[in-house]
Amino acid sequence: MRIYRHSGEIAAQHKGGAIAIGNFDGLHLGHQKVINPAGIAARAGNVPWGVLTFEPHPRMLFDKSAPPFRLTPFHIKVRQIEALGVDFIVVLHFDQQLARMPAGEFVETVLIGGFGARHIVSGHEFVFGHKRLGTADYLAARGAEMGFGTESISEVRDDSGEIISSTRIRQYLFDARPADAGRLLGHPYEIEGRVAHGDERGRHIGFPTANIELDSNMRPALGVYAIRAGIDSGADTVWHDGVANLGYRPTFDGERPVLEAHLFDFDQDIYGKHLRVALIDFLRAERKFDGIDALKAQIKKDCQEARNRLAAGNWKTAS
């Protein structure tokens, strides 16, 4: 899959295609219902299949004080879009200049001038352009004038009839319900980052951990999780069962949240490697223990409980 950073640099072989447009934070099942119709139209017309998205997320421009909220940082989103089979992705830098661009200019210079788009698919609530005047109806009207097709995808609902949304997925994660979040995502929620050197307390008590700073990752409920983890190697990532503590390590008076992942039956040196940690199930809330022995006893229980839940296998790891 080819990645472009500007609509004006799209190669000839990727022009004249069918594109899906949106923020696609989480790339959940609802978002896939927007992207996949563009693929169907592209294959039917024997034209390229593309996705147009924005970085940073617009909310990060308009509310710089917001706590970390993104379900999928940029590189995760790109990997998940590629797994759908998309031919190319255009990632436009979202800044004040783009935010102030009139909807008509966006259609003419980006969608047509840049993409030469023949077919454009968006969610029914997606808006673009200055003062958010670019609606699905507006896009359809311009398509009728300029000769490109459009599709507006209504909200997607799960088996219970509730709308699948990034907001709902975030709430499941805040409520310590990663399995429900994964059901709407279509895969487990992941936290990933470089494995950093810690104080090695886990190794000293018999449970070595790979530590990941949360940085811009969203903060799910603090506590202990059954996990699957793998060193990021794309399609060749090898996954391992494990258990992780997400929190402040109160027994050791930690000052900032960190993800500490203990991988079962694993003894490789992975400092500096890029680790993907999929949260499968929530085991318990984080708490402070009266000494190392009490902590070790609880970790042994957590490891066994994580093994039991992972053995059930009612989940699938992302691509």
pLDDT category at 200 given cuts 50, 70, 90 is: low
Give dist(CA 19, CA 135) in Å, integer.
Answer: 16
**Residue-level pLDDT at 232:** 81
Residue 267's identity, in one-letter code, is D
- Using alpha carbons only, what angle is made at residue 223 by residues 219 and 224, rounded to the nearest 5 degrees? 120
**Residue-level pLDDT at 201:** 60
Q: Which of 108-112, 221-225, 255-259 has the lowest mean pLDDT?
A: 255-259
Work out the end-to-end distance of the chain between its first and last CA atoms, rounded to an integer number of angstroms.
Answer: 15
Query: What are the domain boundaries of the chain?
Result: 2-153, 184-312
What CATH number has the domain spanning 2-153? 3.40.50.620
Contact 41, 149 (CB under 8 A): yes
pLDDT category at 202 given cuts 50, 70, 90 is: low
- pLDDT tens across 78-118, in order? 989 999 999 999 999 999 999 999 999 999 999 999 999 99
pTM of the model: 0.88
Q: Is residue 294 pLDDT above 80, yes or no?
A: yes
- pLDDT tens across 259-276, in order? 999 999 998 888 888 999
Give dist(CA 132, CA 139) in Å, integer.
Answer: 12
Average pLDDT over residues 177-191: 95
Residue ranges of alpha helices (H) inside 231-271 are none
Q: Which residue has the higher pLDDT, 67 or 45?
A: 45
Q: Which residue has the higher pLDDT, 73 or 17?
A: 17
Into which CATH architecture does domain 184-312 fall? Beta Barrel (2.40)
Pull the structure tokens for residue 198. 């810690």
Pull the structure tokens for residue 107. 């259609």
Burial string for 121-154 (b: 16+ CB within 10 Å, else e) reads: bbbeebebbeeeebbbebbbebbeeeebebbbbe
Q: Is residue 199 pLDDT above 90, yes or no?
A: no
Q: Which residue has the higher pLDDT, 29 or 250?
A: 29
